[in-house]
Amino acid sequence: MESADSFPVIVVSGLSGAGKSTVLKVFEDLRFFCVDGLPASMLAKLVELFKGKDENYRGLVLGMDLRQSDFVEEWQSTCAQLGSNGVCPSLIFLEARLPELVRRYATTRRPHPLESKKLGLEQALEEEKVLLEPLRSAADLIIDTTTYSIHDLRRRIQEKWSALTEGKSGLRVNVISFGFKHDVPTEADMVMDLRFLPNPYFDEKLRPLSGQDKAISDYVLGSETGSVFIEKYLDFLQYILPLYEAEGRYRLTIAVGCTGGRHRSVAVAERIFAILKKSGYSASLEHKHINLD
């Protein structure tokens, strides 16, 4: 485990109820050694124990949360200690919208780590969000699990983790297509409204298709408006992404949206993703609302 590439160390954290246990099971199935609830101060010791001694696992995955009261403070010092030993852990941050987290807690009937006589569930969730903001800001990958089933989350983790391990560039770019009528992704750093592009929805023959089909891509991006837009937007990204990277940014989420999230946004997201991969970026692609009405 002389480097993060030869034996990756991954920390999974985020809001309670957002799916950490499910993500740990996914990594376990991918043949990673997983530990939940480990104090941050013990991470460096655990990493040292694994150094070059176990070839049965692809890496080490730790689940960490506010069950450890000083987790955020200890995490920062632990990262510095690991960095001095040449190990750079990847941080995955899970979140979900407040109503969904409340619903999940109502279903499981488990108490929130911060819940008390003075702090109700919703207040505890809001407090946790504030406390974990430094972690969210430092995360390599942010995943909003609000609309995900367990199977959706499993698939997304497998896809996104593969993306994190590829690419020459240190900047990791997540591309998301979405529909404005379903809501804007909370994890987005940049949002592009594509509702000015030609809409295949109004063609009965094209309506059942999605932006992943060539006919839709040709309709949207083959038009005069579409072809000029995609050329200029890709030029803009090729200019601005190196500037983000030069400033030390290591994660950027680009969300492109149309009305329903099935045609225009999907076609544009597919094109952006293809160009980024060709340019050597570590990129992931997610169509958030492609299967919603």
Residues making up the annotated binding site for ATP are 14-21
Residues 264/199, Cβ–Cβ less than 8 Å:
yes
Q: Provide the annotated binding site for GTP.
A: 65-68
Task: Give the whole-angstrom CA distance, residue 159 versus residue 182.
Answer: 23
Assign 197 to helix, strand or coil: coil
Residues 151/54, Cβ–Cβ less than 8 Å:
no
**H or E stretch at 14:** strand 9-14
Q: Provide the annotated binding site.
A: 14-21, 65-68
Burial of 102 (0-12, 13-18, 19+ CB in 10 A): middle
Alpha helices by DSSP H, listed for 109-191, are 121-131, 133-138, 150-164
Task: Give the whole-angstrom CA distance, residue 130 versus residue 216.
Answer: 42
